[in-house]
Amino acid sequence: MSYELVKDSKPISDFEGVEPDYDYRLELYDPRENHNKFWHIAVYGHFVVRHWGRHGGKGQSSVHRAWNDWGARGAAENLARSKQAKGYVKDQTTVLDHIVRKIV
């Protein structure tokens, strides 16, 4: 099933400190390919907030909206599955893990 998202001009700061309805964190770490990336998606009602970049960096963010809460959740789940198909795995690392990766 296809879930349509539309880019929204709502600032990311509007979601700070708010508990998301759905939250998924993925990472791609492969030193041979110089990959050390994170990808985070969160759903707040009918808004979908994405944040991505390299570990240790500021990253980029975007806000999109769906027609309803369920559409936002479905779109977020589809996006997470597409990232996993590209090799991303659930992020279970700690801050110390990322520091060690930078040293090695």
pLDDT tens digits, 69-92 = 999 999 999 999 999 999 999 877
Q: Is residue 77 part of a domain?
A: yes
Q: Is residue 1 part of a domain?
A: no
Q: Is residue 90 part of a domain?
A: yes
The confidence score (pLDDT) of residue 91 equals: 79
Please check whether residue 40 is in contact with residue 51, taking contact to mean a CB–CB distance below 8 angstroms.
yes
The confidence score (pLDDT) of residue 56 equals: 83
Q: Is the pLDDT at 97 greater than 90, yes or no? A: no
Q: Is residue 78 part of a domain?
A: yes
Q: Is the pLDDT at 100 greater than 70, yes or no? A: no
**Please, what is the Cα angle at 39 between 72 and 63, to 5 degrees?**
40
Can you give the residue range of the structural domain that contains 54? 6-103
The confidence score (pLDDT) of residue 92 equals: 73
What pTM was computed for the model? 0.82
Model confidence at 30, pLDDT cuts 50, 70, 90, reads confident
Strands (E) in 2-100, as ranges, are: 6-7, 22-30, 35-44, 47-54, 60-65, 89-90
